[in-house]
Amino acid sequence: MKASRIILLIAVLFFSLSCKEETANSSNEEIDYNDFSKRSFEVYVPPTYNENNPIPLVFAFHGSGGNGAEMRSITAFNDHANERNFIVCYPYAASVNWNEGCNCNIASRLGIDDIGFIEYLIDKFSENYNIDTTKIFAAGFSQGGFFTNNVVCKLSGIFSKAAIVGGAVSRQLSNDCFPSQKTSVLMIQGTNDQAILYNGVPSGNFSYLSASENAEFWANKNGCSSEPLIESIPDKGDPSISVRRDTYLDCDNDVSVVLYTVFNGGHSWYKSPDLNSTETIVNFFFGDE
């Protein structure tokens, strides 16, 4: 216990010094944490940040085998952070993947406490910045999307909204998810995704819900209507895909559950004129969706 407390004290000091040195741009940080000797993340603080005004915080979780820098490049959240005035954190998984709550992957076998790591980062950001605690959001791609679902299950009192692109709820997590509060959830899934199948995987260690089951799962958790409002999104010039939006209505506490189905869409963070994942997510987080 004494050794772990010393490590945490060192981490607090390191975080405090390094974050204050980089207050208006992007930086790559390392901290000591109690499951691996080092945990890494990138953070971007927009030049519009004013310590007298609370600022939203967005976490962006990369896919299996990826890293925070790749997630930053893929999503371009930093550009939107400048426009909307929010901080972005791109954490790095300690192993090949995140501990997504399925008890089935490398992170699980190693006993990596990714949920605790994210809680720790939130505490440190709150100490170093004036964070708007009502606007802490999570977004994840692929296996990072699986982890985002786990974050919503385990940290629902912290995250108010979440977005999943090309990810799903593992069937194991679906039986072990008891969120303390309601959380708005947006999902984007392609029907031709060969990595994370639109129709899910019904059984086995790596089984997961289908896209429609995912939406129904969160609609049920949030007390929404059982039948969604189904709308076709107008074509904006991409002949390769078409998009449908399913919106579950009458959810508790004014939260929302939305599924975007991308017909013929693959395993991608979409940048199509018909659907831009980042723009759609930012609009969802900030109430324009």
Rounded to an integer, what distance in angstroms lies between the CA atom of residue 233 and that of residue 64?
30
- pLDDT for residue 167 is more than 70: yes
Write down the mean pLDDT value for the chain: 88
Strands (E) located in the chain: 26-31, 39-44, 55-61, 87-91, 131-141, 161-165, 184-190, 229-232, 242-248, 257-263
Domains (range + CATH), the chain:
2-285 (3.40.50.1820)
Which tokens hold the place of 61? 């979780």
**pLDDT tens track for 45-86:** 999 999 999 999 999 999 999 999 999 999 999 999 999 999
Three-state DSSP state, 193: coil
Three-point CA angle 195, 111, 119, nearest 5°: 85
Rounded to an integer, what distance in angstroms lies between the CA atom of residue 245 and that of residue 284?
13
The stretch 225-242 carries a mean pLDDT of 95
Residue that the structure tokens 């129709």 belong to: 199
pTM given for the model? 0.88
Q: Give the model's confidence band at 18: pLDDT under 50 very low, under 70 low, under 90 confident, else very high.
A: very low
